[in-house]
Structures are given as C-alpha cells and as structure tokens.
Amino acid sequence: MDAGTALISRLKLELGPDSVLTAASDMEGFTEDFRGRYKAEALCVVRPATTAQVSFVVRACAEFGTPVLPQGGNTSLCGGSVPAADGVRPVIVSLARMRRIRHIDAANNSIEVEAGCVLKAVQDAAAAVQRLYPVSLGAEGSCQIGGTLSTNAGGTSVLRYGNTRENVLGLEVVLADGSVWNGLRGLRKDNTGIDLKQVFIGAEGTLGIITAATLKLHPLPTRHSLAWFAPADPDAALRILGMFQANCGPRLTAYELMNARQLELVIEHVQDRRNPLDGTHGWHVLVELSDTHDGTDMDEVLLQTLEQATEAGLIEDAILATSDSQRASLWEIRHSVTEANKKAGVGLTTDCAVPVSAAPTFIEHSTRAVREIVPGLDVVIVGHMGDGNVHFIPMFSFDEWRSMPDAAATGAALRRCVNDVAHQLGGTFSAEHGIGQTGLPEMANYKSDVELTLMRAIKHALDPRNLMNPGRLVP
C-alpha cells in the first residue's frame, strides 16, 4: 500500500467514508475554481465536522508528509482555494460542514462562529439580535467566514467599518502539527503579548487552518439612504466623496464607482438589471448612508450633498432610492458585476488599491498603459472609491482570448502594467482578494527583501515542513 492510499484509509477510518472524497467526479467542485481558470488534482477531499477532526486530519497529513489545502466556499478570484498544477496533490480540507454559530453575546457585541459558516448566515444571525456584522461582498451568499478571514476580505462597507481583520476579536486555529490554539476570547483589550490572531488573518492557510472566530458586531442601522448618480468623471467622483465625508461623517457607509462599460455588461448578462438613470453616462456611483437613530433625516442630507455637487457642475444625473425594494435593486446591480463579467468573457481582474486621492490618476494612467499593449482594449472598472480599491479589468471576449497567439503572456503583461501604476502611486497590487495563484509572482516584484524575509521566517517557525498550503503567499 502506497503512502497516499494509507493516508486515505486512515482518514476514512477516523472521519467515516462519506467524509473523504476520492473519485475525480466527486472532487470536481473542489479542485476547480468557480470561474474555471484553475484546475489541478488533489489526493482527496476531506469534510471534517469538528475542530477535533480538523486536528486529526492535519496530524495525519503531517505524519505522511502530505500537503494540506484548506477550502471555504471556493469563491476566490485569484485561484487561492484550489490546488496548483505543480504535480503536488494536497489533501483539500473543506470546512463546509463546520457551520455552527456557537454563541452570540449581544451585550459584548460579539458572535462566535465556525469557519464554514456562510457570510450571509452570520449577517442574518447578527441581525436577529439587532446587531450588524458589517463585512459585505458580492459572494456573501456562498463565501465562508474562514475564507474571508484567510484573505482579509474587504467589500463594500470598508469605508465605515474596515476590512475583515478590523472586525475580529479572536480565532481558533489548527496549527501545522495538529495542535489547536484557542484564542477565541471576545476581548477588545488584551496586551498580553503579540496579537497572534493577526498573524493568521490574511495568511491564506499557509500558517494554519482557521476553524472558528469571535467576530465583532456593531449596532444594527435602522435607517438607510441611498442614491445612484453619474459623476462627470473620476475626478468629480473624488470631489463629491469629500463633500459626503464633510456633510455626513461616519454615516457614509458605501461609495462605489463603476464605468459605463461595467454597467453595460451587468445589464446585458444578468437578468432583471436595468440602467437606473436615463440616457448614457460615462461613470456611475452608488452612495449609501446609514444610521442607528430613527430621527435622522438622511434623505435630506443626501439630497443636499447631491444638490451641492450638481451646482458645482460635478453631477450629470442622479436618483434617490425611495423604497427598500429600490435600494435593494440598486445594490443588486453592484453585486452582479462578478457574475456579469464571468459571462461576458475573460476579465483580467486586478485588485489594486492606491491612496484615495490618487484613484482618478490610477484609472487614467492604467487605461493608457494597457492600451499601449493592446490598442483599443475593452476596459471595465468597478471599485470601492471610498477606500481607494479600484478593480481595473482588461476585458476580452471569449473569441478574442482564444485567438490570441500567446494569451497567457499578454494577460501577465497587462496585469503587471496595471500593478506597476498602482505601485508608482504608493499603492498595492492586492487590496482584498488575497494573493492566491494569480498574485504570487507579484510578491517578489513588489515586496521588499526585508518584508519577504520576515514572512519566510514566520512561515518557517509555524510550518517548518512547508505542508500548510505550500507554494502560496510567500515566494
């Protein structure tokens, strides 16, 4: 019996045969990313239901020297949740069965959940006790908490509430030797040494497997006001953002930008999506205010700011959502962009962030740079203007991509030139999606030798045999 077969037998004996998938047909949904761009083989897929079972799996894999790849909802946009085509067949550890909400402490504004909980389920559980878990993104109906933690996911509410790591109080992690670190205490103050949870957040499973988390909750907003408007250009959008910040303060919750091409793709490829405005406009912004005070007339504040911007010649057209259903339909447009782009063709999604003040320059310079490589290239832009995270997407039809002599090299060159622009403006090539397989080559290009040395030292200290999601994050 070879080592792989022996390991599978041991895992089946401990977890049960139904919890260990070995047939290629059974593993398809785990070995290929949801956009169909990355696919490779795994030794097997295990589906533990408890932290103790995850610990057993990791210990067994360590004994056999077999790599471990943790997986959540497999919604990664950069190939971070599936095996690499490098000949190494890892054991995929799916956390999908670990979906218990263990405890909600409304007085402490905290919720303890397992890593396999779907983000939307956590949001709903918090809302049931009049609390808000604020991390929100297009994949919230399928992505899992463990994945959002491992990538330090961002989303549409970062402007007000911060990234995932700013909404975490504690973690439970299975380490590379199978031992379990329980750091789930829901404390906002704890100065007893290094803040270990932050080491694992954003580490993409390379240091251990997050099995549970204590998350920070916030008061549930009871009032929302939302508008959709057409700024004259990105510079105008930036100036209007400043007006909203000055007039609305912390009530400004979201400020999302997209270009006309992105809206066109959503309308074309996603059912029941329509242009909110009359006529054609080059740029669109969704802005939302929220508050916990029922007496706040946020519609008035929103309208006053829109009028101020219109009088300054910064806005071409605007509408105010007048009902919850209209507000939801406008958000559906924003949350449909990934689905639309997947159906439209091959989009080379980038995940750059620059200082908010540099966002218009980033858009202008990136557009010019990619069209020097591919003249007339279709460019799709969507992003979180309020925090400087702009997804600049060179877009090809499926036929264009298939007919290019060296599509992979062209794609790499386009990504690199966009990332170069961000770097030159004091930005980063990865803001919220993680590194995965797409971003790994960029780490050595943009991170300093000191940063890489520190990361390698941490990796070696916690995973000296390089079995936890090897070949990821640290080149």
Name the residue range of residue 323's domain: 223-266+285-334
**Same domain flag for 16 and 30:** yes
Cβ atoms of residues 215 and 111 within 8 Å: yes
Domain count of the fold of the chain: 4
Tens of pLDDT, residue by residue over 96-115, are 999 999 999 999 999 999 99
Which residue, of 50, 78, 94, is where some domain finishes? 94
**Same domain flag for 318 and 363:** no
Residue 15 belongs to domain with CATH number: 3.30.43.10
Average pLDDT, the chain: 96
> Could you write out the DSSP letters of every residue in 265-307?
HHHHHSTT---SSSS--SEEEEEEEEES-TT--HHHHHHHHHH
Which residue, of 69, 94, 119, is where some domain finishes? 94
User: Would you say residue 277 lies in a domain?
Assistant: no
C-alpha gyration radius of the chain: 23
Rounded CA separation 51/53 (Å): 5
Cβ atoms of residues 27 and 44 within 8 Å: yes
User: Would you say residue 431 lies in a domain?
Assistant: yes
Cα distances from 98 to residues 53, 102, 275, 340, in angstroms, run 10, 11, 40, 31
User: Would you say residue 459 lies in a domain?
Assistant: no
Rounded CA separation 141/245 (Å): 30
Residue 202 belongs to domain with CATH number: 3.30.465.10
User: Would you say residue 366 lies in a domain?
Assistant: yes
Tens of pLDDT, residue by residue over 426-450, are 999 999 999 999 999 999 999 999 9
**Same domain flag for 60 and 110:** no
Length of the chain: 475
**Same domain flag for 414 and 318:** no
**Same domain flag for 251 and 311:** yes
User: Would you say residue 272 lies in a domain?
Assistant: no
Q: What is the 3-state secondary structure (H, E, C) of 38-56?
A: CECCCCEEECCCCHHHHHH
User: Would you say residue 467 lies in a domain?
Assistant: no
Rounded CA separation 45/391 (Å): 32
Cβ atoms of residues 80 and 101 within 8 Å: no
Tens of pLDDT, residue by residue over 71-83, are 999 999 889 999 9
Instruction: For the full predicted model, state whether its pTM sits above 0.85.
Output: yes
Q: Is the dihedral of CA 62, 67, 72, 73 positive or negative?
A: negative
User: How confident is the model at residue 326, as a pLDDT?
Assistant: 96
**Same domain flag for 127 and 203:** yes
Q: How confident is the model at residue 35 (pLDDT cuts 50, 70, 90)?
A: confident
**Same domain flag for 212 and 238:** no
User: Would you say residue 455 lies in a domain?
Assistant: no
Tens of pLDDT, residue by residue over 178-207, are 999 999 999 999 999 999 999 999 999 999
- Beta-carbon count within 10 A of 37 CB: 15
**Same domain flag for 110 and 141:** yes
Residue 318 belongs to domain with CATH number: 3.30.70.2190
**Same domain flag for 107 and 211:** yes
User: Would you say residue 131 lies in a domain?
Assistant: yes
Please give the angle made by the CA atoms of 140, 142 and 198, to the nearest 5 degrees.
65
E strands of 67-207, at which residues?
A: 68-71, 91-94, 101-105, 110-114, 131-132, 168-175, 180-183
**Same domain flag for 173 and 196:** yes
What DSSP character marks residue 216? E
Rounded CA separation 104/473 (Å): 33
Percent of the chain with pLDDT over 70: 99
Rounded CA separation 220/184 (Å): 23
The residues, ordered by sequence, that sit 6+ positions from 258 with a Cβ below 8 Å of its Cβ are 283, 284, 285, 334, 337, 381, 382, 383
Rounded CA separation 338/113 (Å): 27
Q: Using the predicted structure, report yes or no on whether residue 296 has a pLDDT greater than 70.
A: no
Which residue, of 184, 200, 219, is where some domain finishes? 219
**Same domain flag for 166 and 121:** yes
Residue 394 belongs to domain with CATH number: 3.30.70.2740
The residues, ordered by sequence, that sit 6+ positions from 359 with a Cβ below 8 Å of its Cβ are 234, 238, 257, 383, 385, 388, 390
The residues, ordered by sequence, that sit 6+ positions from 151 with a Cβ below 8 Å of its Cβ are 76, 80, 164, 202, 204, 432, 433, 434
**Same domain flag for 291 and 391:** no
User: How confident is the model at residue 37, as a pLDDT?
Assistant: 87
User: How confident is the model at residue 34, as a pLDDT?
Assistant: 87
